[in-house]
Structure formats: C-alpha cells, structure tokens
Amino acid sequence: MPISIDTSKRPPGYEDADRDQISDKAKYAMNGANDRKAYPVLLHGGVGCGKTSAAAVQYGYHYSPLWFRADDLLLSMSFGRKDGVRCEAGRFFRGYKQLKWAEFRREMDSDRNYVILDDLGLRPPTDTMYQSLFDVLEWRKGKPLLITSNKSPEDLALLYDDRIKSRLRAGTVVNMDGPDRRAAKGFRIDARQAVTK
C-alpha cells in the first residue's frame, strides 16, 4: 500500500481556514509552542470545535508543511516499512516522485518540515500502527509536529499506552473544547407535524 502525501493544498473544506476562526487562547498556545519549539502540539476537543481549522491555519504559515490523516499515515507506514517497499509520495514539494522507505524516513525526520497529523485516534490501532505513531513521535521530537484529536492525552493512553501519552504531554497540549461549529451551520426542520389546509 503506497504512502500518499499531498502537500499542495489544505484538506477539502479547509482551504479558507482563517486565524480569526481560532480562539485567542488557542492562537496564543500554538504561537508559544512554535516560538519555544515545544513540540508536539496536541489540539484536542469535541467534534466540530475547530481543531482541523486551526491546523489548516498553521499549515498555511509554514514553508514546508506535510499534512496527513493520522490513521491513513500510520496504516500506510505499517505497510511501507515491510522490506523497504516504495512509498508513493503524491505531490511532494510540487513534484511527483516515489520514495523508498529510507527516503520517506529522512523526510519525516527533517526539521524543516512542519508535520500535521489530523484526527489521531479515530480507530483502535494495530500493533504496527502503534509502532508507526511511536516512531513519528520519536522522529519529530523537538521538531514541528501538530496533532489533532477528539481524544485527550488520557483517552489516547487508553487507546495506545502511557508511552504515547508521555510523549504527547512532553510538548504543548491545547484543550479546544467548545460547541460544534460545523453542526451550528446546519438547518433544523421539524417535519413531524402534518400540514393541514
């Protein structure tokens, strides 16, 4: 299974993410983490509270960002590490190329890249997905890494283990709980009553 990396754009639906959509506390925390290199940055909170929008804004501010859906990357890495199979990189720095496992590993280890893992912990991980997350956290130690999750570090510890929780808490943890902004944009219609003339 190839590793698919598309760094040419923000994820669909977040192309217009704007810093005005992010709370001042979250902006302050993310800016402070970037200034102090207090990585990883974990943005956690309920569904629709703005974690992915905040990550998309950060994506727009960095020279060499890499955006991954967390589960997709971890699953792809599980397959990619076997026998050094080639990893398809999709659009990688505005060009197409395939990366051998060692090349992919070097890109993930580079401190010039701002790596974003979106939606960590949606599903229970396999052992190899756990190992892949552990590797990413080790490779990115002290390097720009932003992770979004609906789960707190404590909840992620239940899904993974305390080693993962410890590595996440070694950086900056931002609780972004708030109302579901996505659902607030929807319409609610009560169509249970019959229409009479």
Say what the pLDDT of residue 189 is: 66
CA atoms within 13 A on the CB side of 69: 10
Q: Report the mean per-residue pLDDT for the chain.
A: 78
Whole-model pTM: value is: 0.79
Give the homologous superfamily in CATH for domain 23-178: P-loop containing nucleotide triphosphate hydrolases (3.40.50.300)
CA–CA–CA angle 40, 41, 43 (5° rounding): 140
Q: Taking a C-beta distance cutoff of 8 angstroms, is the pair 93, 114 a contact?
A: no
Residue that wins the pLDDT comparison between 65 and 184: 65
Given a cut of 90, whether residue 136 has pLDDT beyond it is yes
Closest Cα to residue 29, out of 54, 62, 61?
Answer: 54
CA distance 42 to 179: 19
Q: For 53-98, write each residue's pLDDT tens digit.
A: 888 888 777 777 888 888 888 887 877 666 555 554 433 332 345 5
The domain spans of the chain are 23-178
Structure-block tokens of residue 144: 């720009």
Q: Taking a C-beta distance cutoff of 8 angstroms, is the pair 159, 125 a contact?
A: yes
